[in-house]
Structure 1
Amino acid sequence: MEAWLQSLLNALALPEYGLSTVFAVAFVSATLLPLGSEPAVFGLIKLNPHLFWPAILVATAGNTLGGMVSWWMGLGAHKVVDKYRHSATHLRALEWLEKLGPKACLFSFLPVIGDPLCAVAGWLKMPLLPCACYMAAGKFLRYLVMTAALLYLWPPA
């Protein structure tokens, strides 16, 4: 079982590429593509415990930049979404987002709704810099908590 876990971690972390892989996976996973970056971060840290903080920071940077791309795509999609502007769900979501403002981007770490949330923030033309700061804070906390919890469950050998 231990050998299987080690080979899985090697495959997920791509240790020959290390932090650049973590950045790329975190970036892509923050767009609207369904991909999780936590296994790559955990795999790299499990194989290289001394890279804990660099991996967390690189993953946060990649995920935040990916969220900013989603924000930009939302800004560009403004005209397309205008067609559906009057549905009840859409109006409730807009009311909630407009009430919270850029602080809503703190929840960009959540599965399923987090990435579209960044796009909607762009669509609403919320200021990029505050949105990016809240995205970074939420994503940093997610990586820190998830990786620390996984390392607690499976400590480095």
Structure 2
Amino acid sequence: MLFESGYFALFLASFLAATVVPFSSEALLSGMLATNYNLYWCLGLATLGNWLGGMSSYGLGWLGKTKWIEKYLKIKHQQIEKTRKMVSGKELWIALFCWLPGVGDVIAVILGLLKVNVWLVSIGMFIGKLIRYVVWALITLKVITWIS
């Protein structure tokens, strides 16, 4: 069942949507729900794919070096440290917002660049992305019920 083309496409689309590739996995999720795909499989695979994509963005940030930020982005070391201190203790809450279109990918990369706790980022990001897809699915199902 997992490798049925629709489910695999949703997983892949959700993964890509969480990277710098501009793609809407929500449209595919809605289409699949409208054609009676299993709600729980859809939610699970969309969340997993999007979370893994977000964690790959975090990983790319982790590979970055503070020297590169200073050199290419012209951000002073003091500002980087100030930001690191500001984020400290709030990693999980900040990671919840990695689901946001456009800026979510940037948040994930910055959390990686700052080398914040991977477990807190992972948990926060997963919860945020799960909530996003649950809300989207509920709206989709409500619209489907309303139309039919």
Per the alignment, residue 105 of structure 1 pairs with: 95
Cα distance per residue 1:33-83 (max 9 Å; x no partner): 22121011111111125x111100110000000011000111112342232
Local SS of the residue matching 2:5: coil
CA contact (8 A) 1:109 1:138 kept: yes
Q: Determine whether 1:70 maps to 2:57.
A: yes
Please give the alpha-carbon distance, in whole angstroms, between the structure 2 residues aligned to 1:106 and 1:67. Answer: 11
1:80-119 matches, cutoff 5 A: 80-83=68-71, 84-86=74-76, 96-98=86-88, 100-119=90-109
Q: Please state how far the C-alpha of 1:95 moved relative to its aligned partner.
A: 5.7
Return closer, same or farther for 1:97/1:36 CA change in 2, 3 Å cut-off.
farther
User: Aligned Cα RMSD in Å?
Assistant: 2.5
2:142 is aligned to: 152
- Give the SS at the match of 1:154: helix
Please say if 1:20 is aligned against 2:8.
yes
- Number of aligned residue pairs: give it: 141
Give, as a single letter, the amino acid of the residue that structure 2 aligns with 1:69.
S
Counterpart residue type for residue 30 of structure 1: A
Q: Which residue identity does 1:144 align to in structure 2?
A: V
CA distance in 2 between counterparts of 1:123 and 1:101 reads 13
**Corresponding residue number in structure 1 for 2:32:** 44
What amino acid is the match of 1:24?
A: L
Alpha-carbon deviation of 1:92?
A: 7.8
Question: Unpaired runs of 5+ in structure 2?
Answer: none
Q: Which residue of 2 aligns with 1:140?
A: 130
Give the match's secondary structure for 2:131. helix
Choose which of 88, 100, 116 in structure 2 pairs with 1:126.
116
Aligned-partner Cα distance in 1 for 2:107–2:87: 9
The aligned amino acid for 1:34 is P
In structure 1, what is the Cα distance between the partners aligned to 2:92 and 2:75? 20
In the alignment, residue 70 of structure 1 is paired with which amino acid? S
Length-normalised TM-score, structure 1: 0.78
Could you tell me how far apart the structure 1 residues matched to 2:117 and 2:84 are? 16
